[in-house]
Amino acid sequence: MCGRYAATLPPEMMVELFRLLKGLDMVPRYNIAPTQPIAAIWEEGGRREGHFARWGLVPRWVKDPREFPLLVNARAETMREKAAFRDPLKHGRCVVPASGYYEWHTGPDKKKQPYYFTRADGRPMALAGLYATWSGPEGEEIDSVATITVAANQQLSVIHDRMPAILMDERQIDAWLNVREVRAEEAAQMTLPLEDGVLRFHPVSTRVNSARDDDPGLIEAVTVEKPEPVVAKPKKVAGGGGQMDLF
């Protein structure tokens, strides 16, 4: 899964890279965690706008968000079948701008070492996401987002068996956000693992484990032993078709 990332793009670069009508009042962040507000981009009435939304999707049909499991990621392989993601894939596709993301490698000693992943060409990432707006009985509204994950490519699988779905160019971003003309089935075909070499990664301080730490030092490289490859575990499926079946 992708459970932490950094976003350090200045507002004017956000406007230029993602063709926004106006920028978001953002500050550089180096350790963004689930449930926190994040910047996301989606289209409404053909207008591309930036929004702040909770990281952790709350589907429109949920009665009480406090009693619903936290949906940080949507697996690309199953998002078309899952009740929480079917409608957002059709009508609520978004992009989450990022400078890089973190993933943890579990060693033979069961210790977890964080790594920081960026594009090898130095460009910002456009994470494919899904959003929904939940409306409460008192008129309150919550915009929320889940980022999409895919199987890791061979290069990255030495660290973890999953990686975020990343849109690599303007054409892909345009198609992903165009929910009026691009059907869900077509959009889903864009959520694929990247080729080896597109991303690079390095180990970072375990300080990133705490969401309270948020500073540039978190993305700096540290020295650790070479990681052993990860063996993907069989996916457990809960019975009964309840909410815990969402993944």
Position 156 scores a pLDDT of 95
Task: Quote the pLDDT of residue 230.
Answer: 62
pTM > 0.85: yes
DSSP 3-state assignment of 65?
Answer: helix
Residues in Cβ contact with 44 at an 8 Å cutoff, skipping those fewer than 6 apart? none
With residues binned 3-state (H G I as helix, E B as strand, rest as coil), the percentages for the chain, rounded to 5, are 20, 35, 45
Residue 70's Cβ-side half-sphere holds a number of Cα atoms within 13 Å equal to: 9
pLDDT at 239: 41
Burial 31-66 (b: 16+ CB within 10 A, else e): bbbbeeebbbbbbeeeebebbebbbbbbbeebeeee
CB 53 within 8 A of CB 129: no
Asked if residue 173 lies in contact with residue 167, where contact means CB atoms within 8 angstroms, the answer is: yes
Letter for the amino acid at 60?
R
pLDDT at 178: 95
Q: Cα 223 to the chain's mean position, in Å? A: 27
Respond yes or no: is residue 2 known to be catalytic: yes
pLDDT score recorded for residue 243: 33
Question: Architecture of 4-245 per CATH?
Answer: Alpha-Beta Complex (3.90)
Q: Report the pLDDT value the prediction gives residue 16, as an integer from 0 to 100.
A: 83
Tokens encoding 122 = 């130095």
Taking residue 162's Cβ as centre, other Cβ atoms within 10 Å add up to 20
Tell me which residues of the chain have a pLDDT lower than 50. Answer: 237-247
How much is the pLDDT for 136? 85
Is position 170 annotated as part of the catalytic site? no
CA atoms within 13 A on the CB side of 120: 9
DSSP label at residue 224 = -
Q: How many residues are recorded in the chain?
A: 247
* Catalytic residue, candidates 16, 67, 103, 170: 103
How far apart are alpha carbons 90 and 80 in whole angstroms?
9
